[in-house]
Amino acid sequence: MFIFDISNPLTLILMLAATVLLIFLAQEVKKSYVAAIMLFAYLVILIMHVAQVATLSEEFRYMISTLSRCIAIDFVFILITFFSYLWVDDIEAKTSGKKSIDNSLDWFWKKV
């Protein structure tokens, strides 16, 4: 059974570097869809890990701890990319003069 093990330290560092670089790219080009693509990718990975846990056979029960760590890491990456999406959406809205999708975090963006 193939598991995309993101709890491996090297994989974790590479995914974190890719996430930071894509957030920086989204901020530079002022397009929130770049962050939304990352958010969608991490949601797909989360769904994949949950489906693997749900369909895990008895012979692979020893992998449940690895999969649970992967699910926890997935949630952290989803949180990071969600806030980065909201941040880049706010930047995009200010540069184009449009209303942002959600202005409820204005107090937070002013402190960043």
Structural contact between residues 75 and 43, judged by C-beta atoms closer than 8 angstroms? no
Tell me what the mean pLDDT of segment 28-51 comes to.
91
Question: Is the residue at 37 inside a domain?
Answer: yes
Tell me what the mean pLDDT of segment 90-98 comes to.
81
Question: Is the residue at 1 inside a domain?
Answer: no
Count of domains for the chain: 1
Question: Is the residue at 40 inside a domain?
Answer: yes
Q: Taking the model in full, what pTM does it have?
A: 0.81
Question: Is the residue at 3 inside a domain?
Answer: no
Give the gyration radius of the chain's Cα atoms: 17
Question: Residue 103 above 80 pLDDT?
Answer: no
The per-residue pLDDT of the chain, averaged, comes to: 86
Question: Is the residue at 14 inside a domain?
Answer: yes
Length of the chain, in residues: 112
- Residue 18's pLDDT band, with cuts at 50, 70 and 90, is very high
| Residue 77: domain span | 9-106
